[in-house]
Structure 1
């Protein structure tokens, strides 16, 4: 059984999702929460989704949503959230932050609500998130805001987690 609340961080294509799936592989039932949404017509996205689906046991349930708080607040099987980066992007979309960057305080509210639900969940939960703050400073204000919010989200969830792991090149290391 995994720790109660585990956050798995890493760069793009580092093996985060596979590491998360392995942590819950022995569970007979898991709720896989896909936050990416439906990107209809995008063949590359469809291929990525198909690969994720093929790896998951048939007994795992699926919820495709960014409305994570009710799921965290409800009882149920272990939950895998893949991923918080897409949750943030879609939350920014839903709040129209991309066209009005001054609305970022609304995202901070959502991050706080998510962190409260994460801290109080009775479920075993594993979340995947990208660490995007190690690169160059983005040239445009919207991408800088996303990077900053992603850093705040990862820090907030990390500090409310029982375990935080870093994945690089398919290897997963504990962060203490």
Structure 2
């Protein structure tokens, strides 16, 4: 036995020829790519969420425009607008309505008579001119509580378009005494 010299364990001390550094660099590159892709994914998700929020807000503005038109029906449901012709092609436009009172226009409102010819009206948007074809004057719907003998309805289409282009359209009718 050799007591003066320490023994070297040949199994613990080996020359690995730089393989640890190569593995460390490969791991660093992989983790860098993983981090970059995670950042890109989260950035893309934030952009998608922002676009979805904007689209939903535009739809809400258009829906608010429809409600605004119904609440302010006195401004458009005038005697001149509701002349009792069988097929009357008339319209009402209210542009640049500020729904949220922030000083900027939110929605444009277009109201026209629903009629059976489908005649487009110049000055109205494409959605406002694409209403279902129905008689303007007709009998009250079943279950409405109005007598078919004494009452009639007239149909109108309300189209509200947000300033960003989202549109919502509803049909309404008003009941009249028969003449």
- Regarding TM over 0.5, the answer is no
Q: Which structure has the highest helix share of the two?
A: 1
Max Rg structure: 2
What is the TM-score when the length of structure 1 is the normalising length? 0.19
Higher relative contact order by CA 8 Å / sep ≥ 6: 1 or 2? 1
